[in-house]
Each structure stands twice: as structure tokens, then as C-alpha cells.
Structure 1
Amino acid sequence: MAFLRFLICSVFVLTFTARAAHMSPSPPVKAAYWPSWFSESFPPSAVNTALFTHIYYAFLMPSNRSFTFDLPETTRAELSQFTTSLRRKNPPVKTLFSIGGGGSDSDLFARIASNAKSRQIFIDSSINTARKFGFDGLDIDWEFPKDTTEMKYFADLITQWRKTIDREAKLTSRPPLLLSAAVYYASEFRTYGEPRSFPAAEISKSLDWINVMCFDYHGSWDTTATGAHAALFDPHTNLSSHYGLRSWISAGVPRSKMVMGIPLYGKSWTLKDPYVHGVGAPAVGVGPGDQGILTYVQVKEFNKKTQATVVYDIRTVSAYSYVNTSWVGYDDIKSTTTKVEFAQANDLRGYFFWALSYDSGDWEISTHASKAWVEDQY
């Protein structure tokens, strides 16, 4: 297995230009998003901070009228508890709050980012909120700018945001807030609207890093075949992390500003034929879980309860399990640690998980991922 990981990392390195000599690399990012809707069952005090460097509060949204963060008292209390709890942990971690999310109003972000005045109102409110509740930074999860015009708005937003953050830090003599963004797995879109690309130059200049969402390549929108929804490689299509990360590097975003996303959940299908069960096998619908989605905890329970057969797929660097016509694809310890080693071998900044509470009770995946990132490599 060690040789396989070495081979995978070597292949990836050879795909790009020669690696630069190591000077003083940026501190690694071992991050995870904390879904606030699980606050009662999974409070921030339950986080094992020894395994992470940054934790994201997910999510906040500005008002669709004022463009400011007009938060109810319950949310304000939760934000205070979040930062206080994680700051008191040993070791402490840095905290950011993420704005948006997959189900948020993309049109609202476009309205905010469309002119300098509304951008400034939003930016000032975000900085004030971060300072008020003790956050170390901010994250924008705009899914996704839908055309070239909105991509320009995104560029304008992060450029103005960075200038305001730097100005605020200078005026207050505080460390500048971190600024990151969750982005599509590839730097360009060739589906979901007109062809368009993220503004790589502005991203490189204005953001501390990007969280590249290297997952959701397959799912309930295509029930004709199973798929490795976070495939590192795909021999048949461009739906792979290898392709996506290569596109970001080719666009000019520094490797030191790229954080690779790893899912703590699986996607399921119902097989057409229980005897044909590989990645890409014919399917007739979604399988177990909530609309074909199971957290890693639920995958483990499914495997144990059904005594499912577990297979590691070398081609895609993923795992899947099946029993009768039920099929689940996910990342296990092997695929996760291989991806982490792959990220570090290629000088990426780090990795992040969606989502924190989906790991097993003993932090199985997170622990192995943290150990796989060798701190003294350089």
C-alpha cells in the first residue's frame, strides 16, 4: 500500500512542472466545517482540536435587504460559545465563519458584489462580526457565480475585502483577519451555465487560500451508474480531483494557496444487477441514506449491520461497499490518507473536511489524516 501511495503521488507530480525548492512553507491547514444545525448533538466543545488547525462555523448569511449580518440573539450566543469553546481547548484552533453554503441564495451574493457601495456595507459588517465574536477569519462559500459577469463581481468583492481587512488591521494594530473561499473543484466551469473561469489572479492576490471542493462529482442527479463521488483519478472523464487541482494550478493559483477538500460522507445507488458492482456499474436509482447520502458514521453502521463487502478501488482511490443491490461509495482510511499524502507531496497548503460531525465517534478518519500530514517533512 505504501508503494501504491508513492506511485500515485509521483504520477501527480510528473503531471505538472518541476516542483520548486522548499524555502519556508506556509503553516499547513488541517481544517473542517462545523455545521451549526448539529450544535445540540455535536457542540464545539466536543471537537478534538489536536487534529485540526482551523474550524469553520457553517454558515451565516447577510440580510437580503441591508446586506449586513443582523443576527438573532440565539445565533449571537452560539457564535460566542463557538469561538470561546475552541479558544479554550488544548490546543486551541483558529476559527472562521463561512458565509453562504450550498443551499444559500447565490443571487444575493451577486447583488451585493455588483457595486462598490453594497460590497463595502457587506464587508464592513463581516469584519465587525468577526471581531465582535472573536473569529480569526472569514470564508465565502458562493455556490456559484453563474456567468462571466458574476465572476467579475466575485473578483471585485474579494479585492475590496482584502484591502478593507488590511486597512482595519493597520488601524487597530491587530493581526489581519484570514480570508478564504470555498470554490468549485476546477478553476473553470463547462457545465451549469455559460463557460466561465474563476478570477485566478485576484484569488492569488486577495485570499489566504481556497478550499477546493473535491467531491460531489456524482450523485442523485445521475442514477444510471454508480460513481466515486470524490475520485482522485478518473480514467474516463475530467470528474476527478487530479483534473480539478491541475486546472487551478494551470490557472496560476499558487499551490500554497490551495486546500484540498475531502468528504466525510458517501453516495449510494441501487444496482441494476447485484453481480455487477464496480465503480461505474449500472444502477436504477439512489440507495440507502437521505436521498442517497450517508455520513461516514452511517456508512460504518451500514457495513456492519448488513455485513457488506468492502472494496478498495485503486483506479479512483476510493472505497465502496455493497450488499445485494445496495451500493455505497465513500472515502475510507486508505483513500483519505492517500489523498492527504498526495496533497502534501504536491506542495498544497493542506486539506479540509466536510463535515466535522460526520466522522466516527473515535475520530477515525480525522486522526489518520492528521498523522498522514508529516509535520517535519521540510
Structure 2
Amino acid sequence: MDLVKAPTLFLVLLSLTIWGATSAPNRGGYWPSWAQDFFPPSRIQTAYFTHIYYAFLSPNKDTFQFDIDATTASALTSFNTALHGKNPPVKTMFSIGGGSAGTELFSRMASSRNSRATFIRSTIQVARKYGFDGADLDWEYPQTQTAMNNFGLLLDEWRVAVNNEATSTGKPRLLLSAATHYKPEIYFNELCKYPVASINKNLDWINAMCYDYHGPWTPDATGAPAALYDPNGDLSTSNGLQSWISAGIQRQKLVMGMPLYGWTWKLKNPSVNGIGAPAAGIGPGNEGAMLYSEVQQFNAQNNAKVVYDTQTVSYYSYAGASWIGYDDVNSVQRKVQYAKSLNIGGYFFWTAVGDQDWKISRLASQTWTT
């Protein structure tokens, strides 16, 4: 084609190319292995996702290699067979660690070149043996700056290893991601900052866990678990995302997390029932947690009062002394619109199994892609 004679078409094609390169959405969902009996991977509606994460696998605490027993091996194979065979297919990742794995295992693993190399080799072996497209590290959280620096070294060496493996085998390069704190720094006994330069260089994206701002660990007052805005401070998704951007992360490598669950409280006085209301510990659910679908059932069965809070862009409901903070259709749509306005890489849900008839997943996907 003579582009000189078709300048308008050229500009259209150029704009589409640029838009596609910078705005291709990452629409992820974690699938917890404990959901196998009631929500197998085959039930996931892949039209609403681009990446599904198997959660979780953890390496041996002494060898830092993955010991996969026969039951787990079967589950991993079934997971990938089901999701790669879907129409449309999705990319699959196995997520390593998780909140229950703690930090000590990964701190030791990342502390020396030899243990990092052993871990890296094992991740590549697991990914190839069971058919994953990549690996996701959910280290919650590096608790010293030394651990953060070692996290950066791990990413440097992991990237080299997956590149070399792809070159030597001719296979597509494995994807690498990490689940991170909602902000690029976190305070334990000292202020710890994520190695943003290493993240930019080595990871395909990060999944910033923009939730759990309030929950059972804040038992004395209700709170918005995943507020987009915090009218009283900076404990919010907007602050987290803006902090990552200010720290220099490449926008397309920043993915916003959203919860498909809520946290519950028991109100001290049912007549005082807003966000920040005095509470006397956790409310209904599994240790105060309820899947989004369970929240909807609770609201219907108990004729709960449902409130959309415009200041935090979140929902809460209450029935008697039971109070639940969560996200629903309107707050999710507002969050996705906000994330899209920042030109970041997309969003993910913890967890894909929490939805009710896919209405949140469907809405989020439509909001981002239209």
C-alpha cells in the first residue's frame, strides 16, 4: 500500500497500533485450589478473563524446590487442560506462596544466589511439565529492605533464566508476574520499598493487592475493605495506584486488584451503622469473610439495608448487628473506569469463584474493553 496516497488510513492504523500496544487489558482472576469440589476450573467463563492463576503452590521450605504429589499433579494438569481448551482460551499462571505461606520461606530462598537458582529452575520445570504459561510470585511480604533488595535480585535472575530457556527450547517465553502490596512501600520495623527498577526490567506485570484495608484485624470499627478513596487518609486504591506511578513503575505493568468478597463486623449498636461505626469484633461468614455471592444471598435472606457510599466508592449492608463491607456493580465499574483513566495494565480479582452469575466479572470486562 502507498501510505503517501492514503494518509488518513495510515493515521487510523497507526492510532490503533499505538492504542493496542498501550491499552491491551490484563483481566485476571485467581482460582484457589480449595474450590475444586464446588467450583472446578471448567466453570470459569473465560470470555471475561485473559489470565487465570492457580493458587497456590509453595516450594519445599528446605530445598526451595516444588514437591508435586500425584493428587496435585492431576489437579494442575486438569486446570490447564480445562482453561486452554476453553473458547476463548486464557493464559494460565501458577501463583507461588500466598498469604498463608508467610514471608520467612521466601526471605531465606531469596537470600543467596544458589537458593534463588534452585527455586528458579524448579518454577520453570513446573510450568513446562504441567502446561502453564507463566509463574506469579505472591510473597506477602518482604519485611526488610534487604529482603526487598533480594527480591529484586531474584527477579533479575528469573528473567535471565526464562529468556535463556525460551531461546534454548524454542518455546514461547514464560510470563512472570508478582502479587504485591497495594503501595510500593510497606512499613514493618522499617520502611521497605519495592525494587521498582527491577520490576520494570524483569516482570511482565504486578498484581497490586488493592484490598484488605480493613477487616478482622481492625475489629473495633467497620471499614471499607477496598475503598477507592479514603476521605480521612491515604488507605485507598487511588492512593496505592498513584503511589506506584509516582515511584516510577511503567503504567502498563501495574494491574489493580479488586475483591470478590467482603469482610463482616458485629455492630455495637445497630442504630449506628455507617462506615467507621463502633464494632464488637467480626460478624457472619468464615472468620468474618464472605464471598460476593454469599453477601448477595445474605442480603436477600435477611432483608439487609444496602448502601452505596459515594465518598469511598464502596458498598456496605447491615441487618440487625451484622455489617458487611464489600464491592458491588457500581463501585467495581467506577474502579475500572478509574484504572483505565490512569492507562494502567488492567485489573484482577481475588477470587474468580466469588462472583454471582459472573455479573461483576462481565461488567468489569465490558467497562474496560468498550
TM class by shorter chain equals over 0.9
Query: Are 1:353 and 2:349 counterparts?
Result: yes
Separation (CA, whole Å) in 1 of partners of 2:70 and 2:338: 43
One-letter identity of the residue aligned with 2:367: A
Measure how far apart 1:105 and its partner are. 3.6
Separation (CA, whole Å) in 2 of partners of 1:268 and 1:349: 31
131-140 vs 283-292, which deviates more? 283-292
Measure how far apart 1:64 and its partner are. 1.4
One-letter identity of the residue aligned with 2:245: I
- What does residue range 38-49 of structure 1 map to in structure 2 within 5 Å? 38-49=35-46
For the 8 Å contact 2:181–2:209, the answer to whether it is kept is yes
For the 8 Å contact 2:23–2:344, the answer to whether it is kept is no
Measure how far apart 1:117 and its partner are. 1.0
SS of equivalent to 2:76: helix
One-letter identity of the residue aligned with 1:91: P
Match of 1:110 in 2: 107
Match of 1:93 in 2: 90
Query: Are 1:119 and 2:116 counterparts?
Result: yes
Q: Say which of 352, 359, 368 aligns to 2:363.
A: 368
Match of 1:68 in 2: 65
One-letter identity of the residue aligned with 2:331: S
Query: Are 1:148 and 2:150 counterparts?
Result: no
SS of equivalent to 2:22: coil
One-letter identity of the residue aligned with 1:240: S
SS of equivalent to 2:349: strand
Measure how far apart 1:213 and its partner are. 0.2
One-letter identity of the residue aligned with 1:369: A
Separation (CA, whole Å) in 2 of partners of 1:163 and 1:265: 37
Measure how far apart 1:272 and its partner are. 1.9
One-letter identity of the residue aligned with 1:291: E
Q: Say which of 18, 27, 40 aligns to 1:30.
A: 27
Q: Once the two structures are superposed, what CA deviation does each residue of 1:192-226 show, in whole Å capped at 9, x if it has no partner?
A: 33111111110111100000000000011111111
Q: Say which of 286, 289, 308 aligns to 2:282.
A: 286
Measure how far apart 1:22 and its partner are. 5.3
Identify unmatched segments of 5+ residues in structure 1: 1-20
Separation (CA, whole Å) in 2 of partners of 1:356 and 1:240: 22
Separation (CA, whole Å) in 1 of partners of 2:21 and 2:304: 46
One-letter identity of the residue aligned with 1:306: N
Match of 1:304 in 2: 300
Separation (CA, whole Å) in 2 of partners of 1:279 and 1:324: 15
- What does residue range 189-200 of structure 1 map to in structure 2 within 5 Å? 189-190=186-187, 192-200=188-196
For the 8 Å contact 2:31–2:52, the answer to whether it is kept is yes
Separation (CA, whole Å) in 2 of partners of 1:301 and 1:42: 17
Q: Say which of 157, 166, 169 aligns to 2:166.
A: 169
Q: Say which of 306, 311, 314 aligns to 1:315.
A: 311
Match of 1:216 in 2: 212
Separation (CA, whole Å) in 2 of partners of 1:109 and 1:209: 20
SS of equivalent to 2:280: strand
Size of the alignment, in residue pairs? 353
For the 8 Å contact 2:102–2:141, the answer to whether it is kept is no
Q: Once the two structures are superposed, what CA deviation does each residue of 1:142-188 show, in whole Å capped at 9, x if it has no partner?
A: 00001011111101111100011111111111211100000001111
List structure 1 segments (4+ residues) > 4 angstroms apart after TM superposition.
none
Measure how far apart 1:26 and its partner are. 5.1
Measure how far apart 1:249 and its partner are. 0.7
Separation (CA, whole Å) in 1 of partners of 2:112 and 2:24: 35
Identical-pair percentage: 52
Measure how far apart 1:374 and its partner are. 2.4
Q: Say which of 53, 57, 70 aligns to 2:54.
A: 57
Q: Once the two structures are superposed, what CA deviation does each residue of 1:288-342 show, in whole Å capped at 9, x if it has no partner?
A: 1122111111101110011001000000000010112211110001101111111
One-letter identity of the residue aligned with 1:223: P
Measure how far apart 1:24 and its partner are. 2.7
Match of 2:130 in 1: 133
Identify unmatched segments of 5+ residues in structure 2: 1-17
For the 8 Å contact 2:23–2:343, the answer to whether it is kept is no
SS of equivalent to 1:274: coil
Change (3 A) 1:26 1:120: farther
One-letter identity of the residue aligned with 2:365: S
Q: Once the two structures are superposed, what CA deviation does each residue of 1:29-75 show, in whole Å capped at 9, x if it has no partner?
A: 10000001111211111111111000000000111122111210110
Separation (CA, whole Å) in 1 of partners of 2:92 and 2:305: 39
Q: Please provide the CA RMSD for this pair.
A: 1.2
Separation (CA, whole Å) in 2 of partners of 1:116 and 1:292: 41
202-211 vs 278-287, which deviates more? 278-287
For the 8 Å contact 2:32–2:56, the answer to whether it is kept is yes
Match of 1:238 in 2: 234
Query: Are 1:332 and 2:328 counterparts?
Result: yes
One-letter identity of the residue aligned with 1:78: A
Separation (CA, whole Å) in 1 of partners of 2:75 and 2:280: 42
Match of 1:18 in 2: none
